Amino acid sequence: MKLLLNTESLIPPLTGIGNYTLKLLEHLLAEDIETIECFQGARFCSARTALAACTEASERYSTPAEGGEQRSALQELQLHVRNTLKGCTFTYRARELLLDARRRYRVGERRHYVYHEPNFILKPHVGPSVATIHDLSFLHYPQFHPRKRVEWITSRLPRTLERADCLITDSNVIRDELISDFGVSPEKVRTVYLGAADSYRLQTAEQTLPTLQRYGLQHGRYVLFVGTLEPRKGVDTLIEAWCRQPEGLRKEYPLVLAGAPGWHNQVLTDRIRALQISHGLRQLSYVPSCDLPALYAGAATFAYPSLYEGFGLPVLEAMQSGVAVICTAETSMAEFTQGSALLTGRGDIDHLAANLELLLSDEQTRAALAEAGRLRSQAFSWQRCAQETSAIYRAVGP
């Protein structure tokens, strides 16, 4: 079997889809696949070359800064330009048309490859194809995405759902939505759960010390959020819930936000800046992947009140790190945590505030929840994800 994989998402800072593509590709190398060829735009390369290029680009993008300093002005400008271009339909469509035309010159060479698109929309391919549909947030929460992007993906998705030989979702919640909202045949959609890297694990205060010292943090003495800083992640709800904690508890457990800025977040950004001065909130912005395991393991509680997720990988990473988790009810996160996390209603500040106070003021409850989450996390791995995905390739392949 030969595989063709789109690796355009392996450009730092890696988003959820970028991390999915990276970890899946790393573990597919251990599977019984004759050839894995990757492409970015109209450039093709081997899997190992794609992985090496991603590592090199990530190292160039961000070097850990002393004291957890913000990214440089140049990096902020690069991210702003990238996000602006993403939101421009004309620019994106023009680029895609050009790249599709260039790829078609070589399409015949790979007609016997199984093509996997890990980022929603299939590119031109004459052989069997698989697409991963991570979520339908653009449909259910269009206000949290650039309008032009919503228009583009809405127009393209039906053709992908028709063309694909198999569709992969990260959870049964999204699988059920594809079936109900688009009329996709249940036999065509497979749920394949994600995994967390082995680097996410229990760590002692001594083990996390070198990393946490650079960020000015104390082991077991902060509330953590990791993710894109934008409204759909529920960051505004989390900030308000943390602000409602008793002053002594809030000072003992500062809120730490780790993540790159997202779309439509100017109001949120202004609120964060004000609270950094008045309440001691900490914004670390983008954190290199090498620092994340210690940052997770050193947290007292991990809070991720996202309104909607295809899976919610940061929740699993925190669970595997042995940290008590709060996430959102009636979402894919509730599906895979199965009672090993505290659940809060979507956008419910009072409920989230109560859950935070419970965990921060009751060490025994916090420890019990952390252990339940760690045990539950053992059911998931990137190895399992790669094995189940590889089985799908074989099922649809020539």
User: Residue ranges of the domains in the chain?
Assistant: 2-73+97-195+382-396, 205-377
Q: 58: Cβ–Cβ under 8 A, 6 or more apart, which residues? A: 12, 14, 288, 289
How do residues 114-127 score in pLDDT, each as one tens digit? 999 999 999 999 99
Pair 293, 200: CB distance under 8 Å: yes
Task: Assign 67 a pLDDT band (cuts: 50, 70, 90).
Answer: very low
Q: What are phi and psi of 257, to 5 degrees?
A: -105, 120
Residue 193: pLDDT over 60: yes
The pLDDT, as a whole number, for residue 69 is 45
Burial of 55 (0-12, 13-18, 19+ CB in 10 A): middle
- Check for a shared fold between 2-73+97-195+382-396 and 205-377: yes
What type of residue sits at position 357? Answer: E
- Give the span between the Cα atoms of 7 and 67, in whole angstroms: 33
CA–CA separation, 172 and 189 (whole Å): 10
Residue 74: pLDDT above 60?
A: no
Q: Is 164 helix (H, G, I), strand (E, B) or coil?
A: coil
Please report where in the chains the tokens 């990260």 appear, as a residue.
Answer: 170
25-53 mean pLDDT: 96
Taking the C-alpha atoms of residue 90 and residue 78, their distance in angstroms, rounded to an integer, is: 20
Tell me which DSSP letter residue 165 carries.
S
- What integer is the mean pLDDT of 174-185? 97
| The predicted structure's pLDDT at residue 65 | 43
Q: What's residue 131's pLDDT?
A: 98
- Provide CATH code, domain 205-377: 3.40.50.2000
**Length of the chain (residues):** 398
Average pLDDT over the chain, rounded to an integer: 90
Find the helix packing angle between 47-61 and 16-28, rounded to 10°: 140
Specify the range with the lowest mean pLDDT, choosing from 39-48, 186-195, 198-207: 39-48
Q: Which residues contact 231 (CB under 8 A, 6 or more apart)?
A: 144, 264, 265, 268
pLDDT in tens, 254-313: 999 998 777 667 888 888 888 888 888 999 977 888 999 999 999 999 999 999 999 999
Percentage with pLDDT > 70 across the chain: 88
Q: Which of 71-80, 118-127, 152-161 has the lowest mean pLDDT?
A: 71-80
More reliable by pLDDT, 263 or 184: 184
- Looking at residue 218, its pLDDT comes to 97
Of 193, 198, 199, 201, nearest in space to 386 by CA:
193
User: Any idea which architecture 2-73+97-195+382-396 has in CATH?
Assistant: 3-Layer(aba) Sandwich (3.40)
